[in-house]
C-alpha cells in the first residue's frame, strides 16, 4: 500500500496514532473518514474512544460546525493583516472561561505551553521550569522524558519534572531552588478528580517564591467544565493554555492571562504564519457557544455512570497481577494497570479485546456527545469479557499477546 510505505517516518505524524500503539496484525492502520463516534478505517468501521486524542468532544464531522467553518472559508483565509474576527473570538473566549484579560491564539498545545514558558522566563528573569505531566513536543519539555534525542543537555537541565501530584517533591524543589523557578506548569488534573491540596500548595509556593503558576489545560479545557479546571477546582493560575476540545478537532489553541503579563508578548517573540488561522478560529467561535452548561451537565453524567459501571466490573479481577485501576474526571475515563511491569502486556490484551468488537481503544475513554448508549453498552460488554478472561483458571497473558505488544510512549526512566 503506497500510503503505508516509508515515505512518512514512523508511518504517522503523531506518535500516539502510530501503528506501534495498537496490537500488531489486527489493528486498522489508516482512517478514511469519520462521523459521530465512528471511524471508517482500512479494516472497516470502528467506534472510536480516543476521539483524535481528545479534541473531538462533540463527535466527528458535525454538520453545523462544518457549515460555520465553510462560511468563514468563503471570506478568504491567511489574510496579510490581523482580522476583526480574531478580536471577536478572543473576547468570546475570555468571557466563556471567566479568566484573564488578554488572549494569543495558536494552532497546537505545544505552541501555547512553550509560549507560556518563554513568557514566564521573560517576566521573572529566571530559567528553571517545573512541570508534572505531558506538555508537548518542544525541547523544554521533551528533554525531561526518555525520548529526548536531539535535545541539548543544557536545555534538559532547565526543566524538572515531578510525577503527577507529588506534594513532597514539589516542596523539596521549591525549598532547594525556589528563587530560580520561573514557573510551575501543571496539568491540573491527569485522568482523575483534582487533588485540591496539591493545587493549593502549588498556588501558595508560586506566590511565596515569585514564580508563575501555569495551568496546561490542553486536555481539561472545554472537557471537564465550560471553564475548564479553573472553573472545576476554583484554583486560579497566572496563565492558562487551551487546545484540543476548543476546536472539536480543528487545530486551534490559546494562551490567556492578565494584561500585565500578556502585554510582554509585544516584546518577546511568539509569532508564526498561521497563528490566527481563521479556520481554527471559526471552529473555536462555534464550539465556545455549542459547549454550554447543558452540554457539560450531560457529558458529566454520562461519564460518571459509565465510570461507575467500569469500576464495578474491574473490581471483580481476582489475580493481583492483573488488577486494573480506573480513574475519571468529567469527560475522560482512564484505565491503568496496577503493576507497572504488566502494563504493556495488559494494555495490548485490552486493546485486542476492544478491537475484536470493532472499537479503537488506547486505555482512555475520551467521551464525546455522540457516544450513545449502544457504544457504552458494547464497551461494557468488552470489559466484562476482559474480566472473565483474566479470571479464568488457565488464562495465559503472555501467550495472548505474543508478537503483538504495543510500544511504551516514554520508556521507563532508568
Ligand atoms: C496536557 C497536554 N499539553 C500539551 C499537549 C501538546 O499539544 P499538541 O500535541 O497539540 O502540541 C498535549 C498533547 O497531548 C497535552 O495532552
CATH number at residue 182: 3.40.640.10
pLDDT value of position 248: 98
Largest Cα span, the chain: 68
The runs of H, that is alpha helices, within 291-372 are 293-314, 343-356
User: Residue 311 pLDDT more than 70?
Assistant: yes
Same domain (yes/no): 73, 209: yes
Q: In the prediction, which pLDDT does 188 show?
A: 98
DSSP code, position 249: T
CATH number for position 393: 3.90.1150.10
Flag whether 410 is in a domain.
Answer: no
Q: Compute the half-sphere exposure of residue 27: CA atoms within 13 Å on the CB side of its CA.
A: 24
| Mean pLDDT calculated for residue range 12-40 | 95
3-state secondary structure 57-75: CCCECCHHHHHHHHHHHCC
Q: What spacing in Å lies between the alpha carbon of 242 and ligand 1's midpoint?
A: 9
Smallest Cα–Cα separation from 244: which of 106, 89, 144? 106
- Do 260 and 358 lie in a common domain? no
Looking at residue 115, the DSSP 8-state letter turns out to be H
Q: Can you tell me which atom of ligand 1 is nearest the CA of 137?
A: 11
Atom of ligand 1 nearest to the CA of 187: 1
Shared domain for 281 and 362, answered yes or no, is no
Q: Whose CA is nearest to atom 13 of ligand 1?
A: 136
CA of 109 to the centre of ligand 1 (A): 5
Taking the mean position of all CA atoms in its chain, how far away is CA 135? Answer: 9
Choose among 330, 332, 367, 112: nearest CA to 233: 330
Answer yes or no: do 302 and 275 share one domain. no
pLDDT score for 6: 85
Ligand 1 center from residue 249 Cα (angstroms): 13
Which residues span the domain enclosing 340? 2-57+293-400
**Residues 343-360 pLDDT 10s:** 999 999 999 999 999 999
* Shortest-distance atom of ligand 1 to CA 243: 10
Contact 124, 182 (CB under 8 A): yes
- Beta partners for residue 122, in sequence order: none
Taking CA atoms, 225 is separated from 97, 245, 332, 369, 400, in Å, by 9, 11, 12, 14, 39
Sign of CA dihedral 380, 222, 251, 261: negative
Q: Which residues pair with 326 in a beta bridge?
A: 335
User: What is the CA(110)–ligand 1 centre distance, in A?
Assistant: 6
Whether residues 266 and 320 share a domain: the answer is no
Domain boundary among 237, 259, 290: 290
Spatial distance between the Cα atoms of 225 and 231, rounded to a whole number of angstroms? 7
Eight-class DSSP state of 260:
H
CA distance 17 to 120: 32
Please give the average per-residue pLDDT across 324-331, as a whole number: 98
The count of domains in the chain is: 2
Same domain assignment for residues 145 and 215: yes
Question: Average pLDDT for residues 111-138, to the nearest whole number?
Answer: 98
Centre of ligand 1 to C-alpha 313, Å, is 31
Say yes or no: 95 and 16 in one domain: no
389 has pLDDT over 70: yes
Q: What's the gap in Å between 118 CA and the centre of ligand 1?
A: 17
Domain edge (last residue) among 259, 290, 321: 290
Which of 172, 103, 131 shows the shortest CA–CA distance to 140?
A: 131
Ligand 1 centroid to Cα of residue 387, in Å, is: 32
Cβ–Cβ < 8 Å for 148, 156: yes
Cβ pair 378, 357 in contact under 8 A: yes
Distance CA 247, CA 155 (A): 32
Report the alpha-carbon distance of residue 222 to residue 299 in Å, rounded: 11
pLDDT computed for residue 414 by the predictor: 37
State percent of the chain over pLDDT 90. Answer: 97
Instruction: Report the Cα–Cα distance between both ends of the chain, in Å, rounded.
Output: 38
Q: Count other Cβ atoms within 10 Å, centred on residue 197.
A: 10
Report residue 413's pLDDT band, with 50, 70 and 90 as the boundaries: very low
Q: Which residue has the cell 529566571?
A: 126
Q: Which of 110, 186, 242 best tests ligand 1's pocket when mutated (most atoms within 8 Å of CB)?
A: 110
pLDDT average, residue stretch 158-167: 97
Residue minimizing CA distance to atom 4 of ligand 1:
135
Are 90 and 178 in the same domain? yes
Mean of per-residue pLDDT scores for the chain: 96
State the pLDDT confidence band at 3, using cuts at 50, 70 and 90.
low
Burial 278-290 (b: 16+ CB within 10 A, else e): bbbbbbbbbbbeb
With vertex at residue 151, the alpha carbon angle to CA 146 and CA 156, rounded to the nearest 5 degrees, is 75
> Do 103 and 155 lie in a common domain?
yes
One domain, residues 221 and 283:
yes
Residue 405, domain member (yes or no)? no
Residues with CB under 6 A from ligand 1: 53, 108-110, 113, 133-136, 187, 216, 218-219, 243
Q: How far apart are CA 269 and CA 302, in angstroms?
A: 43
Pair (299, 286) in one structural domain: no
Please give the number of the atom of ligand 1 that sits closest to the Cα of 110: 11
Please, which pLDDT band fits residue 409 given cuts at 50, 70 and 90? confident
Cβ–Cβ under 8 Å, residues 251 and 108: yes
Say yes or no to pLDDT of 2 above 60.
no
Amino acid at each position: 500500500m503506497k500510503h503505508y510505505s516509508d515515505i512518512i517516518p514512523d508511518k504517522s505524524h503523531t506518535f500516539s496514532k502510530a501503528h506501534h500503539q495498537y496490537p500488531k496484525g489486527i489493528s486498522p492502520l489508516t482512517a478514511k473518514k469519520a462521523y459521530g463516534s465512528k471511524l471508517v478505517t482500512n479494516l472497516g468501521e470502528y467506534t472510536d474512544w480516543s476521539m483524535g486524542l481528545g479534541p473531538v468532544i462533540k463527535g466527528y464531522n458535525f454538520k453545523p460546525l462544518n457549515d460555520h467553518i465553510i462560511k468563514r472559508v468563503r471570506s478568504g483565509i491567511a489574510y496579510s493583516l490581523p482580522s476583526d474576527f480574531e478580536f471577536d473570538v478572543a473576547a468570546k473566549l475570555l468571557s466563556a472561561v471567566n479568566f484573564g484579560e488578554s488572549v494569543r491564539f495558536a494552532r497546537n498545545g505545544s505552541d501555547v505551553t512553550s509560549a507560556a514558558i518563554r513568557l514566564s522566563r521573560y517576566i521573572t528573569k529566571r530559567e528553571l521550569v517545573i512541570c508534572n505531566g505531558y506538555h508537548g513536543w518542544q525541547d523544554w519539555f521533551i528533554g525531561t522524558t526518555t525520548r529526548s534525542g536531539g535535545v541539548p543537555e543544557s536545555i534538559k537541565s532547565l526543566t524538572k519534572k515531578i510525577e503527577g501530584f507529588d506534594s513532597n517533591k514539589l516542596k523539596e524543589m521549591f525549598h532547594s531552588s525556589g528563587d530560580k523557578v520561573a514557573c510551575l506548569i501543571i496539568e491540573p488534573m491527569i485522568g482523575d478528580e483534582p487533588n485540591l491540596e496539591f493545587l493549593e500548595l502549588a498556588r501558595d509556593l508560586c506566590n511565596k517564591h515569585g514564580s508563575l503558576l501555569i495551568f496546561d489545560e490542553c486536555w481539561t479545557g472545554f472537557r471537564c467544565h465550560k471553564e475548564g479546571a479553573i472553573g472545576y477546582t476554583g484554583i486560579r493560575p497566572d496563565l492558562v493554555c487551551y487546545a484540543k476540545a476548543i476546536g472539536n478537532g480543528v487545530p486551534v489553541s490559546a494562551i490567556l492571562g492578565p494584561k500585565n503579563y500578556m502585554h510582554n508578548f509585544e516584546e518577546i517573540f511568539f509569532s508564526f504564519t498561521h497563528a490566527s488561522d481563521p479556520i481554527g478560529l471559526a471552529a473555536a467561535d462555534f464550539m465556545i457557544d455549542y459547549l454550554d452548561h447543558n452540554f457539560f451537565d450531560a457529558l458529566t453524567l454520562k461519564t460518571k455512570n459509565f465510570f461507575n459501571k467500569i469500576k464495578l466490573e474491574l473490581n471483580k479481577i481476582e489475580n493481583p497481577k492483573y488488577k486494573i485501576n480506573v480513574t475519571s474526571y468529567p469527560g475522560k475515563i482512564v484505565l491503568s494497570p496496577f503493576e507497572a511491569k504488566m502494563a504493556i502486556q495488559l494494555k495490548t490484551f485490552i486493546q485486542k479485546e476492544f478491537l475484536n468488537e470493532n472499537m479503537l481503544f488506547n486505555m482512555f475513554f475520551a467521551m464525546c456527545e455522540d457516544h450513545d448508549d449502544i457504544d457504552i453498552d458494547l464497551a461494557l460488554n468488552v470489559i466484562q469479557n476482559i474480566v472473565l478472561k483474566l479470571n479464568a483458571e488457565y488464562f495465559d497473558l503472555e501467550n495472548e499477546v505474543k508478537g503483538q505488544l504495543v510500544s511504551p510512549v516514554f520508556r521507563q526512566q532508568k
